[in-house]
């Protein structure tokens, strides 16, 4: 195991971990507000598609990320209308979002790029002076596209908003005790709407990261269940954003370690390695199982004047 190996592991973990991080961060916000967003994967996929289309069309990765953000929020609007405003079952709507986005992106991709299969240019990375000179870690961690640094900053911004601001308090109240929030004169549905839109935006950015930076292409079903992994990370993080950071990169390592091992000539079963993160989560849950660790009103619609 030499430096090259560890550099490959870290770089791969970051590449695979960033989309997870952004999406999980978003999911955490809506879970804290009482909305369980099973359609996260759909939002990521549409974000990836939207980001790719815009980036391909304008040639600018920034506009691409803007497109990903808007695409994710557009899908989140479905969740807002059906789950927040109409108070319908969040799991059913989430699955509807997932299925229709899988179908829609695959369809649009085939119609638009079925013959040409365009690729995006690489996104330039920005080395941080000094830090990027550290051996092994330097080039793999501190020499990344700007979006990476933005994602890291977002972790702390979201953590700060959730825990230190009035809006964050309202969001958490909407998830734990919406009636109390309503009695305090705050519009629960508005708070939840904001939370779901934030989720959609972040999930869209996560998908965009996949398409614009990690892959450079859009492929149907490219999220490969990562939306669901992000949901799990968010549930385990329980509103603590730093845990999202740790969890995402642990999953990122697991997702990338097989390639790194092959790079140094070690042959291991991909399937067994892929099982590791899930095994760890299950074990952790079994050992540290606790009764109430999700917001009390999670997945419950709120309607005024109803007990």
Partner 1 sequence: MGDMANQEAISAGPVERPAAWRRYGKEFWRHFAPVVYGLAAGGVLLLILGKNPITFYWTTIESGLLSWNGLMQTLIRLAPLLLMSAGFIVAFQAGLWNIGGDGQFLMAAAVVGGLGASMVGAMPVWLALVILCIIGFVVGGAWTIVPSALKAYYGMNEIITSLMMAYLGTNLANYLIKGPFITDVGFVPQTNVIPFADLLPNIPGTRIHVGIIIALLVLAVVHYMQTRTGYGLRLRILGANPKAAVHAGINVKRDIMSSFALSGALIGLAAAVEVLGVWGYVRADWNPAFGMTLFAIVFLAGLNVMVVIPFVFFFAIIQIGGHEAARVVGLPNDFLLLLVGLILFFMVLTEWARIKSAVSKKLKKTGAGSGPGTDKAVTDGR
By beta-carbon proximity to partner 1, the closer residue of 129 and 290 is 290
Footprint of partner 1 on this chain (CB under 8 A)? Answer: 36, 38, 78, 82, 86-89, 91-93, 95-104, 106-107, 109-111, 220-221, 225, 228-229, 231-232, 235-236, 269, 271-272, 274-275, 278-279, 281-282, 285-286, 289-292, 294, 301, 303-306
Nearer to partner 1 (CB atom), residue 124 or residue 225: 225
Cα separation of 142 and 155, whole Å? 17
CA atoms of 142 and 132, how far apart (whole Å)? 5
What torsion, rounded to 10 degrees, do the Cα atoms 158, 159, 164, 166 define? 40
What backbone torsions phi and psi does residue 7 show, to the nearest 5 degrees?
-60, -40
Least Å distance, CB 125 to partner 1, is 31
Name the minimum Å distance from CB 300 to partner 1.
9
CB of 302 to partner 1, least distance (A): 11
Query: Residue 36 or residue 250: which is nearer to partner 1 going by CB?
Result: 36
Nearer to partner 1, 246 or 294 (CB): 294
Q: What is the dihedral of CA 5, 248, 200, 164, to 10 degrees?
A: -130
Structure tokens at 224: 């490969």
Q: Among residues 29 and 97, whose Cβ is nearest to partner 1?
A: 97
Phi, psi of 60 (to 5 degrees): -120, 125
C-beta of 136: minimal distance to partner 1 in Å?
29
- For 114-152, give one letter per residue: b (16+ CB within 10 A) or e: eeeeeebeebeeeeeeeebeeeeebbbbbbbbebbeebe
**Closest distance between partner 1 and the C-beta of residue 268, in Å?**
11
């Amino acid at each position: 195991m030499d430096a090259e190996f560890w550099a490959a592991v870290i770089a791969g973990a970051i590449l695979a971990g960033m989309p997870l991080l952004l999406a999980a961060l978003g999911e955490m916000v809506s879970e804290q507000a009482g909305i369980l967003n099973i359609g996260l994967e759909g939002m990521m996929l549409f974000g990836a598609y939207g980001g790719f289309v815009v980036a391909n069309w304008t040639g600018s990765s920034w506009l691409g990320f803007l497109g990903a953000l808007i695409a994710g929020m557009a899908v989140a609007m479905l969740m807002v209308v059906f789950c927040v405003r109409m108070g319908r079952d969040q799991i059913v709507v989430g699955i509807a979002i997932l299925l229709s986005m899988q179908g829609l992106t695959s369809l649009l991709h085939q119609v638009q790029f079925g013959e040409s299969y365009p690729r995006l240019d690489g996104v330039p990375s920005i080395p941080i002076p000094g830090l990027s000179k550290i051996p092994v870690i330097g080039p793999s961690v501190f020499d990344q596209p700007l979006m990476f640094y933005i994602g890291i900053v977002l972790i702390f911004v979201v953590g700060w908003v959730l825990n230190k601001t009035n809006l964050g308090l309202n969001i958490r109240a909407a998830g734990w005790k919406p009636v109390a929030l309503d009695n305090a004169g705050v519009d629960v549905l508005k708070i939840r709407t904001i939370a779901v839109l934030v989720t959609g935006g972040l999930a869209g950015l996560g998908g965009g990261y996949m398409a614009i930076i990690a892959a450079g292409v859009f492929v149907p079903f490219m999220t490969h269940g990562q939306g669901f992994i992000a949901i799990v990370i968010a549930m385990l993080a329980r509103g603590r954003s730093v845990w999202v950071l740790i969890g995402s990169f642990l999953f990122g390592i697991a997702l990338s370690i097989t390639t790194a091992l092959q790079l140094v000539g070690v042959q291991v079963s991909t399937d067994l390695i892929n099982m590791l993160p899930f095994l760890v989560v299950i074990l952790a849950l079994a050992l540290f199982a606790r009764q109430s660790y999700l917001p009390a009103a999670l997945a419950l619609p709120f309607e005024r004047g109803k007990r």
